[in-house]
Structure 1
């Protein structure tokens, strides 16, 4: 079972929002899609959902072309939330669950399980507008998964949540993955993508500029980081060949280097100056890779 996006293009007049995008997301994968505003993420998600038709190419789930009748197999948490503020939580979820082919009793049973999981069972009979923004987001998440979709699309799921609720939602997402749900996930927080996703795609102007297994993507990136904690100034390393970027820290410095071999020269250069408490060669962060390929910081 897999989601296949095959040479998909979406044009709006003279504007190309998605350009010859090809991806394959396997069952039970957590797949991260990254990109600055206007990169084509939301357009891609809407084409997967069948809300937009590709100008070219094809999108299939388990070998079948995506169609509106597949609504019961797909869950979607949009970046812009869409709950009815005057409805009680239970009425909201029953309405949305019934649209996905569930019976009222099924919805209520699943709702109770999810509200208990999020430690808010008392919210069932509250109106949505009475809840905090974070708790409204929990309800929106429940609405996207209550029908037990095979494919789940999460667009900025942690936006606006405090750290405690972020951890609650992370655990819920990981549990769904363990149960076999295929999850397509976007976030402005790189650390969330690095923590949760095994595979990723970075979109830039509708094109996939990075695509693959996260570990392989990081290892194939020639530029590395060196973290040094030392009791003497490291500023002289700025001028060393192969040092691309130098950032001073409270305990020493972090250097971006052209490739792994430069770290040996750095180690030799500092070894006679004094006590070195830490010297660590690190893979580049996802943020480093994103900035290099897209040319902008992504926060």
Structure 2
């Protein structure tokens, strides 16, 4: 279990992280979200001991991190960093050896990992001959091939097309199934909502959200109603608590409510003649919550 307790980090007059705390258990995926400059990368660097916190501590299985524990970590930085004139194979071997693995342990695995992530190129090709996307997949293999117990991914989906993003998701889920603790940052709330068990949102270095993804969504209330019925937009706007009504691309009304309870009256009116194709009352999406918490102007 990874425990992050009351982290604080300043740079001169700037407070980058203030009182950040969370726990990640085996097999759990946590999302770290927030605007640019919110403190996400600083938090990662403190966990990795690349920065020293002004206060607070990071514990792994109730112990402070040591070199032995760092060999159990896989880290994908936001600033990608491969050696362009080195072959794919030697690149992977080099990073694995930095994590305490022997060449004899990793060499037999390379072909399968290149196939798993659909890397276009032979393992003897130099990194510089690969496309940007394939270089990113090679760096991801370097992050995962030693089967780390803690995986930290800083904006891993950045620049990936939908097909390669799906390959990354599969890699993350496979590591999760083996008990890895995984934390990743992303500006794509769909990735966070799809993959994460829990999330932390930082704003100006402070936690403004912390908990299970479903619980966080539910705490904002089921105030978004998807409706397909005979009720007109004008009729819907007459119901108490209806803020506005929009139509999506499929022609389904999206009704925004001030309180979740106000959906009951709409349901009764919409179903007075029996069956209707659509009635679904949902909490806001993570993207909507993100914008609400961050402030749309800033975003």
- Settle same-fold status: TM greater than 0.5: yes
Corresponding residue for 1:47? 46
- TM-superposition CA deviations, 1:12-41 (whole Å, max 9, x none): 111111111111111211111111101110
Corresponding residue for 2:157? 158
Runs of 4+ in 1 over 4 A off after TM superposition: 268-276
Whole-angstrom distance in 2 between the partners of 1:295 and 1:68? 41
| Contact kept? 1:222, 1:258, Cα under 8 Å | no
| Contact kept? 2:120, 2:130, Cα under 8 Å | no
Corresponding residue for 1:185? 184
Q: Please say if 1:265 is aligned against 2:265.
A: yes
Whole-angstrom distance in 1 between the partners of 2:190 and 2:18? 27
Unaligned stretches of 5+ residues in structure 2: none
Q: Please say if 1:287 is aligned against 2:296.
A: no
Deviates more, 1:207-216 or 1:236-245: 236-245
Question: 1:203 is paired with a residue of what secondary structure?
Answer: strand
Deviates more, 1:60-69 or 1:142-151: 60-69
1:28-43 superposed matches below 5 A: 28-43=27-42
Unaligned stretches of 5+ residues in structure 1: none
Whole-angstrom distance in 2 between the partners of 1:220 and 1:129? 48
Deviates more, 1:148-157 or 1:224-233: 224-233
- Structure 1 vs Structure 2 CA RMSD: 2.3
| Contact kept? 1:39, 1:204, Cα under 8 Å | yes
| Contact kept? 1:233, 1:252, Cα under 8 Å | no
Question: 1:185 is paired with a residue of what secondary structure?
Answer: strand
Question: 1:124 is paired with a residue of what secondary structure?
Answer: coil
Shift of 1:283: 2.4
Judging changes above 3 Å, is the alpha-carbon distance between structure 1 residues 26 and 57 closer, same or farther for their aligned structure 2 residues?
same
Shift of 1:66: 2.4
Q: Please say if 1:8 is aligned against 2:12.
A: no
| Contact kept? 1:223, 1:258, Cα under 8 Å | no
Deviates more, 1:40-49 or 1:68-77: 68-77
Whole-angstrom distance in 2 between the partners of 1:181 and 1:245? 44
- TM-superposition CA deviations, 1:145-189 (whole Å, max 9, x none): 122111000111111111111111111110110011110011111
Question: 2:93 is paired with a residue of what secondary structure?
Answer: helix
Question: 1:264 is paired with a residue of what secondary structure?
Answer: helix
1:107-126 superposed matches below 5 A: 107-120=106-119, 122-126=121-125
Shift of 1:213: 1.1
